[in-house]
Structure 1
Amino acid sequence: MNNIYSIKDSTANPGPLGLFGFAMTTVLLNIHNAGFFPVNSMIMGMGIFFGGGAQFVAGIMEWKKGNNFGSIAFLAYGAFWLTLVFTWLAPMFGVEKPDGNAMGCYLGIWGLFSLVNFFQTLKGNLIGKLLFGSLTLLFFLLAAANFTANENVLHFAGWTGILCGFIAFYEASAIMINQKYEKTILPL
């Protein structure tokens, strides 16, 4: 027997929220990595509330919509921001600060996670490939910079992260603008 009743999903697309949360926080942190200013409360605040919190909310909303990729990506990268800020703040409470090798391992495992996500984008649009390709490269460069304590690698990683963040910003903008105008204004 067919059910003549169906429920239409009329909830908003959470993708732009998660992408903007990722994009803006990533750009700001990587301006630091490129050498322009130290880590400060602005980066930590963005990491907790927008990079962490907004992406976490977007991930739950993607889960509700049945989007496995979006859900896992936003929840995981939201958790990344929360763990990163915790790592910076924990020494204030007597927890040992990680050394370069520990941070290299931390960032390297996020590079592997990003690589798995990149492989999934190969069946998607160009902007997704560029986003996750640059993100994978960013994490591996940050891991290398921490393992070697090489400032030049860190600065190059910073510029890579700025590019990655702006790609995510573009994607979020394109989704919103294209939806609003009901046609492709910014191609994906």
Structure 2
Amino acid sequence: MSDIEKREQYTSEGVPTITSAHRPASKVPNRLGNPGPLGLFSFASTTLILSFYNCAVRGIADPNVVVGMALGVGGLAQLLAGMWEFASGNTFGATGFWLSFAALYVPGSGIADAYHGKTAEFENALGIYLITWFLVTFLLLIASLRRNLGLISLFFFLTITFMLLAISKFTGNLAINKAGGGVGILTALIAYYVGLAELLIRDESWFTLPLGVIPRRID
């Protein structure tokens, strides 16, 4: 008699039971929540503050106060949300830029200090930085075209925001910088909406928000 047969047991009705020796391994249920709202709210909040500064609201022209948000909320929280998106199998959601932006203005990093007395050079360097993120965001816009209208709108206006801010750095035109801030505020509001729509789960909420689902491609 084989070892498996020796380990076989029978019920009172004579029906053999499956022992742990040849029972398939059970799958552990995935208890990971949706990290999307955390990433979207973090992005939206930091973008909203910086966009207000770009619009010179209340006479603010120096963006350094946003560094705390860019590090702790737009940066760390969005980084964690992105890693959890990876764990959930969503490569698309694991993106963000705020930590790199914060590094430019963190006291002691030496990045901004290296351009002391070279304002034009620093502005051009920021323009190159922003135009690079314009290209990355444009690629994300293309990737979002089969997702939903909420994400498409978010990446469309974010692409425009980066483009306007880059142009303002290259040209020194404050009006274009304010325009970029205005579009950035709209982008942040869209991000809040998309984040809330993902947070309002049908089985746990009184209502849901539409995101404009796009039909899946049929091969």
Work out the CA distance in 2 between the residues paired with 1:93 and 1:148.
19
Answer with 59-68 or 96-105: which moved more: 96-105
1:60 aligns with 2:77: no
1:49/1:180 CA distance change after superposition, 3 Å = farther
More helix by share: 1
1:65-118 CA distance string (max 9 Å, x none)? 1111112x2xxx1xx212212212334884336612111110000000000000
Deviation at 1:123, TM superposition (A): 0.3
Are the counterparts in 1 of residues 50 and 63 from structure 2 also a CA contact under 8 Å?
no
Shift of 1:3: 5.2
Ranges in structure 2 where 5+ consecutive residues have no aligned partner: 1-22, 212-219
Question: For 1:131-155, what per-residue CA distance to the aligned partner results, in whole angstroms no more than 9, with x for missing partners?
Answer: 0001111111110010000000000
Distance 2:110 2:65 in 1: 19
Cα distance in 1, alignment partners of residues 191 and 93 from structure 2: 13
Q: Determine the structure 2 residue equivalent to 1:84.
A: 101
Whole-Å separation in 1 of the counterparts to 2:35 and 2:122: 36
Q: Does the C-alpha gap of structure 1 residues 142 and 167 become closer, same or farther in structure 2, counting only changes over 3 Å? A: same
Of 47, 70, 80, the residue aligned with 1:47 is: 70
TM-score, structure 1 as length reference:
0.88
Go from structure 1 to structure 2 and tell me whether the alpha carbon gap of 1:103 and 1:94 turns closer, same or farther (over 3 Å shift).
closer
**Map of 1:31 onto structure 2:** 52
- TM-superposed deviation, 1:6: 2.4
Distance 1:34 1:94, change over 3 A: closer
1:18 matched to 2:35: no
Q: 4+ residue stretches of structure 1 with deviation over 6 A?
A: none
* Alpha-carbon distance in 1 for matches of 2:171, 2:113: 26
Post-superposition Cα deviations, 1:26-75, rounded to whole Å, max 9, x if no partner, equal 0000000011123355411111100001000001111111111112x2xx
Are the aligned partners of 1:178 and 1:186 in contact in 2 as well (CA < 8 Å)? no
Aligned counterpart, 1:112: 135
Q: Is 1:135 the counterpart of 2:158 in the alignment? A: yes
CA–CA separation in structure 2 for the residues paired with 1:93 and 1:141: 22
Q: Distance in 1 between matches of 2:199 and 2:159?
A: 25
- Aligned-residue CA RMSD (Å): 2.2
SS of residue in 2 equivalent to 1:129: helix
Give the conservation status (yes or no) of the 8 Å contact 1:134–1:160.
yes
Task: Supply the distance in 1 between the matched residues of 2:115 and 2:189 (Cα, whole angstroms).
Answer: 34
Q: Which runs of 5+ in 1 are unaligned?
A: none
Distance 1:110 1:41, change over 3 A: closer
Distance change >3 Å, CA 83–CA 3, structure 1 → 2: same
Verify the 8 A CA contact 2:53 2:61 in the aligned structure 1: yes
TM-superposed CA distance for 1:181, in Å, is: 3.3
Q: 1:9 to 1:35 in 2, by over 3 A?
A: same
Native 8 Å contact 1:105 1:143 kept in 2: yes
Which has the greater radius of gyration? Answer: 2
